[in-house]
Every structure is written in C-alpha cells, then in structure tokens.
Structure 1
Amino acid sequence: MGAAVAAPVRLSVRRDDGAVVEDLEWQLVPLGLLREARPWRTFRWFKGQQHYSGTYWSATMGDHVIYESRLELGRLLFADFAPEVRHIVAQPFLLKAGIDGKVRKHIPDYLLLTDDGPVVVDVKPRHRLEKPEVAVTLDWTREAVTSRGWRYEVWSEPDPHVLENVRFLAGYRRSWLFDPDLIATLRAADLDEMPLGDAFRLLPQSPRPLVKSAVLHLLWSGHVTTALDRPLSAGHVLRRAA
C-alpha cells in the first residue's frame, strides 16, 4: 500500500538567475519555470566521497548537464540519445509533501521534456529499491507526478551492452565536427538493411575513417538505427528510422 499523501504538494525551484522560489503549489507551477530551472543542489566534490559526480556535454541541450553518480550519467546518456527528448533539467526542483503526518522532501534526478510530455526521473540502483525509506519516497513522488498527468520513471541498471553502445556512440554526438557535405551524401544514400561494415565502405572516394565516423554520427542522431543489445560489429544491420 502506498503512502498517504496530504494535499497540497509544494515545490521549490532555483530559477535561472539563481534566486530560489519556495513553496509553490505543485499543480499550479508553470512548466516554463521548471524548464529553465538550475540544479537544486550545489555541485559537491570532497575527498573520499563515495559517489561519482561530474558534468556531461549534452547534444540535446548544447550545454553541460550535471550528474551525481555513474548510474545518473547512464540515464543522462540515454536521454541525450533519445530523439523524443527535447530538453533535460538536472535536479529540477524540491518536492515537499505531508506523508502519514510527517513532512517529507525529495529532489528528483531529472526532468525530461519529450514529444509525449514531461517525464520526471529518479535514478536508483536496483538493490536499493526494496529499502522501506526509498520505496516510500518513490511511491509518494510517483503519486504527486502522475496526479499532474506527467510520467514518472524509476531508472535502474540498464542492459550493459546497450549502455556501452550508447556510451560509444556518444563520442560521435558533436554535429559540428562532421563534414556537412559528407553527412548529406550519407543521408541521401539508401542505408536501410545495409550492414554497418558496408556503410563504412560506401564512399570509396572519401577517407574511410571520416565515412565511418559520419555513419556513427547518423546512428547517434537517429537517422538510422540498429540493434544495440550486443556489441556493435560490422555485421550489424542498419534500419532507416521511421
């Protein structure tokens, strides 16, 4: 049974100018304010810390996005890779609610603005999901988020092959590094059902390393797709994105 959430749920947000706006009613907070939010927590580095923090340059954002663990970085990579994700906000707000007579607070890890609407994401290792205090927090957060008609996601360790392939393709995410004419030529080519190795050899008049990197950029950008549940190889078959 889920926790009993006392209405209204309140929200605090750090605006783009650094000012903090507190105790807004969750149901009434405009999405535009959350879209421009700064991370709620200040970035922390200290000797002996147990988590792995950093910043990742996101192609979706054209800017750096923070993460506080390797698992959060994994979710950030997946968000950056997903063509339906249009905007990413790290630590977007602080939620506060009355839960079973106590005031509870929680900072979700990401807010994703997608073609299908907002998605609030919490990243948690699978082994922590059954801890009672974690389960209660995720339950009431889910109730608050879905009450607004938004999606809520708890994300744990992904398929390791998919993660490594997305991490590899992220090396080809910076579009300005690729020759526009070469990209245009490959986009115009019929890559559907072509093995990846053949695509690398498709333009013999161009240096193969440049063609290979351009094809991998098209995979990153979603122009073509392929199965990512096993290590990428020359035999992987490309499919034109729908």
Structure 2
Amino acid sequence: MSIRYEDGLVRRIPFRDVRLADFAGSIPWRTFRSVHGQEHYSGSYASATTGGHVVYESRLELARLLLADFDGGVCGIFAQPCLVVARVGGRVRRHVPDFLLAQGTGTVQVVNVKPADRLEDPKIVEALAWPGELVEGHGWRYEIWSGADPVLLENVRFLAAYRRAGVVPEVEVARAWSSVCDGDSLGVAERRLAGGLPRYAARPPLMALLWSGRLATDLSRPLAGGSVLRRTA
C-alpha cells in the first residue's frame, strides 16, 4: 500500500502492517479536474466531520460522503486514501479505493462506490472483489455502495445545510434543545419555540439538532411537521 502525504512524501507500507494512524496527515492519492464534457461530476465537499474539504468524483460518491458526514459514529473521512498493489491470479493489480472511514470505536471501513448497473459487468465485480478480500483479511470492513433510499438522501442533503458550527447561533441551538420534548412532532416543537413568530423562524436550530444527532426522527419519511422528534443525548 502507498500513502501520499501533505509534504509530498509517499510512504509504502505492506498491507499487513498498515494502521489507521498511518493516514494522519495524508492527502488523496489522486485529484480531479473539471473538464468540459466529462461524464462524472467531481468536486470537494466541506465536511463537518473533518473540518476540511473532502474530494469526490461523482454525484454518487457525494451521496455516500454526505451519509458518512451525517453518521455520528464516523470520526474520520479519507477520500482516495491510498494505492493498493497486489499480485492476483498471476497479474499485478492496482486499485485506489474511493473512501476510508474511521469509526470512533476504532473500526475502519473501506468504501468503493459504483452504480448498480456497473455491478452487472463481471470485470467490474472482479476488480472490486480482490481489494475486498485484502481489506477484510486485514480485519477492516469493506463496502461496495450503489445508493440508498432516495427519501433518506434528500433529508440528509437538506439537513447538511445546517452542518457547520455557527450557521445557527449556539444560543439559539441551546434554547431549542431546552424547549423540545421527547415525542414532540416537528410542527409542535417549532410552534413552541417560535412563540408568536412564524413556525419557520424556529426551524434552523431544530434542523441543526437533527444534523448533530442530538435529536432524531424517521428520515425514511419526508421531513415534515408531523415528524416525531426523539432526544438522543
């Protein structure tokens, strides 16, 4: 495995010896340029988890990145984290995973993102299989991700607008937290918090609490006034 660092150094580590700590101070193995007519939509995402920008190569990768950023158990996100080289079936194979996710529990997950229709190609399936065997043999988790429930993704995209500290003043978030009761519907919580003002005036701090995970609701349904809120902290 080869890892690239901010100072330009490339470190080569046998896969059996690699540890999560080896990714500290690393940068993506490759970067992307926007070119007119390109098939994929690439860019960088301002992550609340990392406090910096994380690159992505497609809208599908951005969707997986949003879910990782929303996941309170994820404490580190590395895009294009390394180059893996291995001899497979008598051939030297090379692979750059899409993401490496570090969990607060110490679990490490390597994620490759591919559209579902691409997984019908045996060559793609084989190209993704051998890295998975290496990763799982090392005691890490491996995921091939092709999408999630569209309603969940739309809800998380909406909540992501409130992911940055300071977008909603902390005093307003604290007041919302002290006001909301376990089992409130979103509409009831908004009316109570807004007082005589329109409901929408109280929405931002409640959305910030949902993004942070201090409040939870069923995001498999469209977020609406009837969404039931649960206090988790």
TM-score range, shorter chain: over 0.9
Tell me the SS of whatever aligns to 2:63: helix
Tell me the SS of whatever aligns to 1:135: helix
Q: TM-score, normalised by structure 1?
A: 0.90
Alignment partners' CA distance in 1, 2:210 and 2:88: 45
1:183: how far off? 1.3
What is the CA deviation profile of residues 173-195 of structure 1, one whole-angstrom value per residue up to 9, with x for unaligned ones? 11212222221122233431110
Q: TM-score, normalised by structure 2?
A: 0.94
What is the CA deviation profile of residues 153-172 of structure 1, one whole-angstrom value per residue up to 9, with x for unaligned ones? 11112111111110011011
1:167 to 150, 153, 157: 157
1:27 to 16, 23, 30: 16
What is the CA deviation profile of residues 29-75 of structure 1, one whole-angstrom value per residue up to 9, with x for unaligned ones? 23212233201112222121100001111111111111000000000
Structure 2 residue aligned with 1:220: 211
| Percent identical residues | 48
- The reply to whether residue 57 of structure 1 matches residue 53 of structure 2 is no
Structure 2 vs 1, CA of residues 170 and 206 (structure 1 numbering), >3 Å: closer, same or farther?
farther
Which residue identity lines up with residue 222 of structure 1 in the other structure?
Answer: G
Which residue identity lines up with residue 68 of structure 1 in the other structure?
Answer: E
- The reply to whether residue 78 of structure 1 matches residue 67 of structure 2 is yes
Q: Which runs of 5+ in 1 are unaligned?
A: 1-10
2:30 to 41, 45, 55: 41
1:201 to 191, 210, 233: 191
- Count of residues in correspondence between the two structures: 231
Q: Which runs of 5+ in 2 are unaligned?
A: none
Tell me the SS of whatever aligns to 2:193: coil
1:153 to 133, 138, 143: 143
Tell me the SS of whatever aligns to 2:172: helix
Give the alignment's Cα RMSD to 1 decimal: 1.5
Alignment partners' CA distance in 1, 2:19 and 2:222: 42
What is the CA deviation profile of residues 58-106 of structure 1, one whole-angstrom value per residue up to 9, with x for unaligned ones? 1111111110000000000000000000010000001111110001111
Alignment partners' CA distance in 2, 1:45 and 1:141: 28
Alignment partners' CA distance in 2, 1:14 and 1:154: 23
Using CA pairs under 8 Å that are at least 6 residues apart, name the structure with larger relative contact order, 1 or 2. 1
1:216: how far off? 0.5
